[in-house]
Amino acid sequence: MSNKIPRRTWLKAAAVTAVASLVGNTRAEPQDPTKTQGASPGKLGSRSPFEQPEKKPSDISSRTPLQDLYGTITPSDLHFERSHAGVPVIDPEKYELLIHGMVERPMIFRLKDLKRFPAFSRIAFIECSGNFRTGKTTMTPQEICGLTSQSEWTGVMLSTLFREVGVSPKASWFLAEGSDAAVMTRSIPVSKGLEDGMIAYAQNGEAIRPQQGYPARLFLPGWEGNTNVKWIRRIELSDQPFMTREETSKYTETVKDGKIRQFSFDMDARSVITYPSYPQQVEKGWIEIRGIAWSGRGKIDSVEVSTDAGKNWTKAILQEPVLDKAHTYFRHLWRWDGQTTEIMSRAIDDTGYRQPTLQQLINARGTDMGGYHVNPVTAWVLQQDGTVLFKPEKWK
Ligand SMILES: Nc1nc2c(c(=O)[nH]1)N[C@H]1C(S)=C(S)[C@@H](COP(=O)(O)O)O[C@H]1N2
Ligand SMILES: [Mo]
CATH of the domain at 278: 2.60.40.650
Q: What is the pLDDT of residue 23?
A: 46
Are 248 and 279 part of one and the same domain?
no
Q: How far apart are CA 352 and CA 130, in angstroms?
A: 23
How much is the pTM?
Answer: 0.92
CATH number at residue 224: 3.90.420.10
For the CA of 84, the nearest atom of ligand 1: 7
Are 375 and 304 part of one and the same domain?
yes
For the CA of 129, the nearest atom of ligand 1: 14
Are 173 and 275 part of one and the same domain?
no
Are 94 and 155 part of one and the same domain?
yes
Are 284 and 210 part of one and the same domain?
no
User: Which amino acid residue places its CA nearest to atom 23 of ligand 1?
Assistant: 226
Of the bound ligands, which one is closest to the alpha carbon of residue 79?
A: 1
Last residue of a domain, one of 224, 258, 292: 258
Q: Is 197 inside any structural domain?
A: yes
Last residue of a domain, one of 258, 280, 307: 258
Are 250 and 366 part of one and the same domain?
no
Are 233 and 327 part of one and the same domain?
no
Q: Is 15 inside any structural domain?
A: no
233 lines ligand 1 (CB under 6 A): no
Are 196 and 94 part of one and the same domain?
yes
Q: Is 122 inside any structural domain?
A: yes
The total number of structural domains that make up the chain: 2
Q: Is 364 inside any structural domain?
A: yes
Q: Is 14 inside any structural domain?
A: no
User: What are all long-range contacts of 129-132, with beta carbons under 8 Å and residues at least 24 apart?
Assistant: 129/224, 129/225, 129/226, 129/251, 129/264, 129/267, 129/372, 129/373, 130/371, 130/372, 131/225, 131/374, 131/375, 132/371, 132/374, 132/375, 132/376
Are 254 and 274 part of one and the same domain?
no
- C-alpha 229 – ligand 1 centre gap (Å): 6
Are 245 and 279 part of one and the same domain?
no
Of the bound ligands, which one is closest to the alpha carbon of residue 229?
A: 1
Q: Is 6 inside any structural domain?
A: no
* Site to substitute for ligand 1 among 63, 81, 228, most atoms within 8 A of C-beta: 228
- C-alpha 84 – ligand 2 centre gap (Å): 9
Running along the chain, 396 residues long, what does each successive block of 10 average in pLDDT?
Answer: 49 47 53 92 96 93 97 98 97 98 98 98 98 96 98 98 98 98 96 98 98 98 98 98 86 78 92 98 98 98 98 98 98 98 98 96 87 96 98 84
203 lines ligand 1 (CB under 6 A): no
184 lines ligand 1 (CB under 6 A): yes
Are 203 and 324 part of one and the same domain?
no
Q: Is 50 inside any structural domain?
A: no
Q: What is the pLDDT of residue 251?
A: 82
- C-alpha 131 – ligand 1 centre gap (Å): 13
Are 208 and 276 part of one and the same domain?
no
Q: How far apart are CA 71 and CA 339, in angstroms?
A: 29
As to burial, measured by CB atoms within 10 angstroms (0-12 exposed, 13-18 middle, 19+ buried), residue 47 is exposed
Q: What is the pLDDT of residue 27?
A: 56
Q: Is 34 inside any structural domain?
A: no
> Where in the sequence is the domain holding 106, given as residue range(s)?
61-258
Last residue of a domain, one of 206, 234, 258: 258
